[in-house]
Amino acid sequence: MLRAALLVVLLIVALDASPVQADQILPTSPVITDTRCPQPPAIKARGFRHKRSKQIARAGSPNHRGIDLIASEDAAQQVIGGKLGHGKFDKDLEDEDAEVFACVDATWKTLGVERTNDDGRFELVLLQRLPTGMRDLYVASVGDGSGSYFVGYVAARGAGVVVSDIDGTLSWSENSIIRQVVKRSHDIKHRPHAPEALTALPYPIVYTTARGDVFLNSTRGWLTRHGFPRGLLRLAHGAFARPGKSAIAYKTTTLQALGVAIVAGIGNRKSDITAYTNVGLTGKRIFIHVPEYEEEVRADLDQGRAIGVPDYRELPKLVPR
């Protein structure tokens, strides 16, 4: 029953998913260099490689998405991934070309073209590395020129990030995403003072959620509308990572793959505490919003494995500097 409901959610949300535009992305903390290009790059459509792709593009609006780049300046490679998709079923554009651009010195610079696989996904290894700082990135479908903004961040040596869960931690409840996508006029509430608290932190924010990346553009739009600071997103493949062991495994793997130091982790469930502990955070660096799941996390809080935060206004004073 739950699996069927999640599938329905996945199909419906794609109706609302649309490429993110420059004015949907909020300013970041002034301590981080952030390079913006307000207008998308000029792209001349070159036509699709396959007739089928042209039919898919005509049948539904684009839901292209780049996977936000998170890398250290010491990383051996910088790799940018993403997907080209269209329509309410997020139909893949297979064996088509995706071009990736970066905003460098307030000007768009092409980073290269990569062909998609049979899932519509691509990975582009950058031949010329991006400099440190945060910046606009853009992925375009070469076939028709449609595209979407996303974000890149290259951390200076020794710099760290703060990681925060979204569902139930920043949003009003764990399952409110379902209400939003089923009833598109419904906007999920955020936790009181959460946007201001994260904005006050002197670190880039990495937002994580077990939602599938078909929700990436709508998730970024929600964060923007509710005043959260510009940051990097990490979402699962598929509809959702299942609660319990699957969610813990997904979160742990995602955090291990970031490639930058994690200063602190924010969540609301025992699974968050476990995942943050798995990647080496001590209890003084793990912050759990209460009281919604206080009974579930009480033993961990009492044993010093995490710190309970009932009011987000307390958070900036607790996060290590």
1: in domain: no
pLDDT value at position 254? 96
Compute the average pLDDT of residues 292-307: 97
75: in domain: yes
pLDDT value at position 308? 98
42: in domain: yes
pLDDT level of residue 180 (50, 70, 90 thresholds) = low
Q: Annotate 5-20 with b (16+ C-beta within 10 A) or e (fewer).
A: ebeebbeebbebbbbb
Higher pLDDT, residue 147 or 187: 147
36: in domain: yes
Residue 182 has pLDDT above 80, yes or no: no
Please count the residues of the chain.
321
- Indicate if 45 and 178 belong to the same structural domain: no
11: in domain: no
End of a domain among 155, 188, 218? 155
Higher pLDDT, residue 281 or 27: 281
Give the domain CATH number at 298.
3.40.50.1000
Tokens of 199: 């904005």
Residue 4 has pLDDT above 60, yes or no: no
pLDDT level of residue 12 (50, 70, 90 thresholds) = very low
Cα distances from 69 to residues 23, 94, 195, 234, in angstroms, run: 20, 22, 22, 10
- Residue 210, judged by CB atoms within 10 A of its CB (0-12, 13-18, 19+), counts as buried
What would the pLDDT profile of 306-321 be if each residue is shown by its tens digit? 999 999 999 999 999 8
Strand pairing class (121-125; 133-141) = unpaired
pLDDT value at position 210? 86
127: in domain: yes
Q: Tell me how far apart the alpha carbons of residues 321 and 316 are, in angstroms, rounded to a whole number.
A: 9
Give the domain CATH number at 139.
2.60.40.2470
Q: Look up residue 179 and give its DSSP letter.
A: H
Q: Tell me how far apart the alpha carbons of residues 98 and 83 are, in angstroms, rounded to a whole number.
A: 8
- Domain count of the chain? 2
Residue 267 has pLDDT above 70, yes or no: yes
Q: Tell me how far apart the alpha carbons of residues 166 and 294 are, in angstroms, rounded to a whole number.
A: 17
- Indicate if 210 and 256 belong to the same structural domain: yes
- Indicate if 128 and 243 belong to the same structural domain: no
Q: Which residue range is the domain that position 242 belongs to?
A: 160-318
The three-state secondary structure class of 197 is helix
End of a domain among 135, 155, 175? 155
Compute the average pLDDT of residues 213-234: 94
Secondary structure (H, E, C), 219-281: HHHHHHHCCCCCEEEEEECCCECCCCHHHHHHHHHHHHCCCCEEEEEEECCHHHHHHHHHCCC
- Indicate if 171 and 149 belong to the same structural domain: no
Tokens of 10: 């996945």
What would the pLDDT profile of 64-112 be if each residue is shown by its tens digit? 999 999 999 999 999 999 999 999 889 999 999 999 999 999 999 999 9
- Indicate if 169 and 275 belong to the same structural domain: yes
- Indicate if 311 and 250 belong to the same structural domain: yes
The three-state secondary structure class of 317 is helix
Residue 9 has pLDDT above 70, yes or no: no
pLDDT value at position 8? 37
8: in domain: no
End of a domain among 155, 176, 211? 155
Which parts of 17-162 fold into alpha helices (H)?
51-59
- Indicate if 72 and 130 belong to the same structural domain: yes
